Amino acid sequence: MLERLAKGESGVVMGLVVMLVVLIGVMGAGLLVLVRSDLEAVVKVNQGQNALNLADAGVQAARRQLRSDAQPDHYDSSGAGNVEWAYVAPAGGTAGKTLTLEDGSAQVTIQYLLPSTTVTQVRDGNRAPELVPGDLTDYPGGRNFFRVISEGMSGGARRRVEAILYTSRVGVPAAYYTPKDMTLQGDISINGASFFAGENIERVGNVTIDRETPAPYGDWDTTSFSPPSRLNTVPRTGAAGNRATGAGLAAEGLVCENGDCSGSPADSVADGIHDYDRYTGTKGSSKRFVRKADPNAPNAPGTISYPFDAGSGLDLAFLMEEARRQGNYRSSAVDITDYPTASNDRTVYFVDAGGAADFIEYRTDRAPEARGTIVVRDGNLAFGDSSGLFRGVILVTGDGADTGKYDSGTSGNVEGFVVASGDMTVRGSVSPSTVADGLSTRPSFYSVNLWGWRELYE
């Protein structure tokens, strides 16, 4: 009897064990299904987030493209002059730029947005999101608006974003400027340009200055600029109050001539109308030239100042990167003999002189002219006498003592302006140029800023 009971209980136990195993198996299978579903959901979420990150990376790439080229007619509704980033395909191409990135890809288009002159146009998707001020037909300060559409793709996930970017001028000098001494030498003719120095400007020889042709910065009163500022709140004026808008000279030290630059008021040849220095306020003029401590404050009584921020500089790292991208970067102090044959306002040529005190020489003749921006970092630059016309901007940086010097050579074949860290010597003829008008599309002379960003849902 007991033996039969024991065997019966054993059978029951075995049955329970079998049922338990089956139950655990069923639960395990269900759990695996849940885990798999959760993992698939996590993967989809991760892919979606990654796609969004890729879309934003596309926006940043578009911003980099616009820093190099913000010419509106390269991104407009006419494909004739468009570049590959444009939302309307260039002739023989496709619309937009495809970026292959580490975890996927992004498809990016850039569209120039026409200025909005009415409130209705502000709401138009093909117009800029801000109203043009006053009675103007375009935005002041070189401002242009662009729409970027970027679609990121990761695995099976796609995310699209829209960013509105705008450009604005960087306040670097659109003139000949050095914080050191400047010499205007020889039979030099100046019209349509102004010269500024942190120390002295010396006139040597027969220097002829045209006071009638308007020059960049006009009367130097920045409150009347577009957009206005308080960098200099007083104009150049004559005794009758007439504003002077032609070529002018300004020095924190002296405007002097032919070696008479000892530092006394008697050595000043600035007239206090067109030209100013630190002594013009004692010579019958109503103001003397100073560097303001606070560029946002009004001018102190009896002073006139720089019509630009003399302390501002360009992004040399970006200019170097741009020159590398164009194949125009030189890592040592070599003469410039290979300036690109096909150049334009967006051409950048960059020489890393590495502290070399000998002058790098520009010896290039391009027909009809060479154009762009030349940068010599930590070195000196001189123009060779046989060089052809260069139309653009020259930047020479250095310590201001051994490096940072500029010499135009005897030909003076530069149409544009020069900014140098050291002493500057200018010869030949300096003529008016439209270079200052095109700074809003010259690489590094403008910034690209974010106006708005949103994700697009479909």
Q: Are strands 249-251 and 195-197 parallel, antiparallel or unpaired?
A: parallel
Residue of 352, 355, 354, 416 lying closest to 383 (CA atoms): 416
pLDDT for 2 equals 46
**pLDDT tens profile 267-283:** 999 999 999 999 998 88
Residue 101 phi, psi (nearest 5): -115, 175
Chunked in runs of 10, what are the mean pLDDT values of the chain (458 residues)? 54 66 62 52 69 96 96 93 95 91 93 95 92 88 94 93 95 92 90 93 92 92 91 91 93 94 90 95 87 92 94 92 97 97 95 97 92 97 89 96 94 86 91 79 93 90
- Please tell me whether residue 429 adopts helix, strand or coil conformation: strand
Question: 301 is written with which tokens?
Answer: 């009584």
pLDDT for 45 equals 57
Percentage above 70 pLDDT, the chain: 90
C-alpha distances in angstroms, 429 versus 28, 363, 364, 421? 90, 18, 18, 22
Report the 10 Å Cβ neighbour count for 124: 13
pLDDT for 37 equals 54
What gap in Å lies between CA 328 and CA 392, rounded to an integer?
16
Half-sphere exposure of 233 (CA within 13 A, CB side): 11
C-alpha distances in angstroms, 112 versus 70, 143, 167, 245? 9, 12, 11, 34
Determine what percent of the chain falls in helix, strand and coil, rounding each to the nearest 5. 25, 30, 45
DSSP 265: G
Which amino acid does the sequence have at 206?
Answer: N
Q: Are strands 348-352 and 329-330 parallel, antiparallel or unpaired?
A: parallel
What gap in Å lies between CA 36 and CA 149, rounded to an integer?
35
Full-model pTM: 0.86
Whether the CB-CB separation of 191 and 210 falls below 8 Å is answered with: yes
pLDDT for 5 equals 45
* Radius of gyration over every alpha carbon of the chain, rounded to an integer in angstroms: 33
